Amino acid sequence: MKHSEVLIVLDFGAQYTQLIARRVRELGVYSEIHRFDIPMSQLREKKPVGIILSGGPSSVYDADAPKPSPEVFQMGVPVLGICYGLQLIADQLGGKVDPSARREFGPAEVMIDNRDDLLAGLGTITTVWMSHGDALTQMPLEFESIAHSANAPICAIRNVRKKIFGVQFHPEVVHTPEGKKILGNFVFGVCRASGGWSAQSFVEEVTRDIRASVKSSHVLCALSGGVDSSVLAVLLHHAIGGQLHCIHINNGLMRKHESESVVRTFREQFHIKLSSVDASTLFLSKLAGVTDPEQKRKIIGKTFIEVFEKESQKLLGEVEFLAQGTLYPDVIESASFNGPSVTIKTHHNVGGLPKDMKFKLIEPFRELFKDEVRAIGAKLDVPRELIGRHPFPGPGLAVRVLGEITEAKLNLLREADDIFIQELKHANLYDEIWQAFAVLLPVQSVGVMGDGRTYDFTLALRAVTSVDGMTADWARVPHEILARISNRITNELRGINRVVYDVSSKPPATIEWE
C-alpha cells in the first residue's frame, strides 16, 4: 500500500527499534522500519518526510559496526539519531566518540540549553532513559549542543541548516516522560509532517486496494478465531462481502468451547461463509509420543497445511486469492534486520505455505502492529471480547502441555485454563494483562486430599504485562486472587494437586514455556 507520507526508521539492531516506529504512528504519521543498509535508490523512492537512526549494541569504531550510506545525510531530509544513531552522526560527519566515557544505564536528569525546535516545550530539566557505553566528546562541524547532563556535556545536538539532530537518550521509551513530545517536535516541527494516518484511514485505503485487486474473484481465509484472523475476516467481508470464504480447522488443541464459539460467532453474527473442519483426531494421532516442542510445532504446521490444502481444493476455480494475517513484526523478523540470529523457537503463527499453492496472497496487516489491528477491529465493530483476547499461539495447547500430549491432559489443561481466565475477568484484571494462561507440567508430586494421598500433576499459571510481546514483565496478580484460583483448580479438577505462579520476565524467559 502506498502512503502519502512516510517516516523511515533505519534499524541498527536496537531492542527499541519497533517502539520508535510505533511512537511515530501514535502521532498519526505512518512509519516503516528498514535495515540500516537499505539501498539509497530504494530510500529515495520512498520520499520520506524524515529519517530516524535507531540505537544499537555496536560501537561506531568497531571494525564491523553497522553504518548507513553517507548519502543519507545529503538527501536534504531531516535526520534524528537516537543513542547509537547520534554517535553515527558524529562519526560520519567529523565529530568524535569516546569509548572510555562513563557508561550510563537507567534514568538521568538532562538540562535543556535550547528550546527552539527539537526540545521545544520542555522545561529546564527533564528525566530521560540512558543506555550507552560510548559518548560524544567532540561535535561535528556546524553542530551545537542543545542539552547536557552532569555526566555528559553533550546529550543532544543539532545542525539547523541541514536539519540533522541527535540525542544520547531514548525518547521512545516510557521511562523518558517527555519523549513523545520530543518525537512530535521532530516529526511535525522539523519534518513538517501533516499527520492524519489512523486505523480509520487504513480501513478506507485497504478496502479500496482489496476491491481493486480482487475484482470479481473470491478470497480464502484461514480463521482461527484469534485477534488477527478475526479482524482480517471481518475486514475482508466488509470489502468484498460474499466473495470471502473462511475455513476454521479444529486441531483439538483449542481452548474450552473455542471452536464452537468461533463458528457460531462468524456464521450467526457476521454471516460469513465458513467451512468448519474437525481434524482433532488426525492432529492428536500425529502428536502421539512427541515431547520435543520444535517437533510439535513442525508436525502441527505440516498437518495444518495438509488439511487446509485439502479443504481449499474444493474451492479451486472459484477462489483466486488467499488472505493471511501476517503482522509487521513478523515481516521485520523474517527480514533478518539484525543479521544472523539464533532461532529461539519457530514462530507461533502457522506458516510455510507450499510454494505450489494455486493462490495469490493478500496480507492487509503486514504493515501493522498488533494494537493497530485491534484498533481496526474496533472501527469495524468487531466485538470487544474478540479484539481484546489475549494472544494464543498457533500450536495452541500443544505447547502448554509440556512433554507428551494426550487428550486427557488437554482436557485437564482446558478446564484449569478456563478457571484462571474466569477469575481474572471476575477481578477485572483480564484487560490489564497482555497474556495469561496455564501450563500443565510433566511433574507429579505428593499431595493430600481428605484422608487420602495423591500423586498428581503440577500446574503453572503465567500472566504478563507487555506492549507488544517483544519484552514482558510478570503481572502482579494480588495474592488473594491467586489463592482463589489455586483453590478452585485443586478442588474442582481431579488430577492437579499443586499450582505455582511464574514470576519470570522476558528476557530472560520467553512468554510461552515452549
CA distance to 100, 240, 421, per residue, from 335 (Å)? 34, 31, 35
Q: Taking residues 208-233, report their average pLDDT.
A: 91
Residue whose grid cell is 479484539: 387
Task: State the Cα–Cα distance between residues 414 and 411, nearest whole angstrom.
Answer: 5
- Neighbouring-strand partners of residue 462: 437
* Cβ neighbours of residue 446 closer than 8 Å, sequence gap 6 or more: 453, 454, 455
> Which single residue is written with the C-alpha cell 478442588?
491
Question: What is the pTM assigned to this prediction?
Answer: 0.76
* Helix (H), strand (E) at residue 372: helix 370-379
Terminal C-alpha separation, the chain: 35
Instruction: Point out the catalytic residue in the list 172, 367, 372, 512.
Output: 172
Exactly one of 32, 83, 132, 372 is catalytic; name it: 83
User: Residue range 449-474: average pLDDT?
Assistant: 84
Please provide the average confidence, as pLDDT, over all residues in the chain.
Answer: 88
Burial of 113 (0-12, 13-18, 19+ CB in 10 A): middle
C-alpha to C-alpha distances, 65 to 88, 91, 339, 356, nearest whole angstrom? 10, 11, 12, 40
> Which range, 105-119, 316-330, 402-416, is most confident?
402-416
For 236, 278, 456, the CA distances from 112, given in Å and listed in that order, are 49, 63, 62
Q: Active site includes 172?
A: yes
Q: How far is CA 4 from CA 193, 195, 306, 433, in A?
A: 10, 10, 41, 35
Catalytic residue among 170, 237, 248, 348: 170
Q: Is 144 annotated in the active site?
A: no
Helix (H) or strand (E) holding 406: none
CA-CA-CA-CA dihedral for 112, 117, 123, 126, to nearest 10: -60
Q: Which amino acid is at 315?
A: L
Cis peptide bond prior to 508, omega within 30° of 0: yes
For residue range 49-58, list pLDDT tens digits in order: 999 999 888 8
Cell reading at 461: 499459571
Residue with the three cell numbers 502441555: 401
Examine the residue annotation and report whether 170 is marked as an active-site residue of this protein. yes
Mean pLDDT of 320-342: 65
Q: Which residue has the higher pLDDT, 327 or 252?
A: 252
Task: Number of helices (H) and strands (E) in the chain: give both, helices first.
Answer: 14, 20
pLDDT in tens, 111-165: 999 999 999 999 899 999 887 667 788 889 999 999 998 878 889 999 999 999 9
* Banded pLDDT at 312 (limits 50, 70, 90): confident
Q: With bands split at pLDDT 50, 70 and 90, how would you rate the model's confidence at 100? A: low
Give the mean pLDDT of 467-474: 80
Contact 168, 132 (CB under 8 A): yes
pLDDT band per the 50, 70, 90 thresholds, residue 354: low
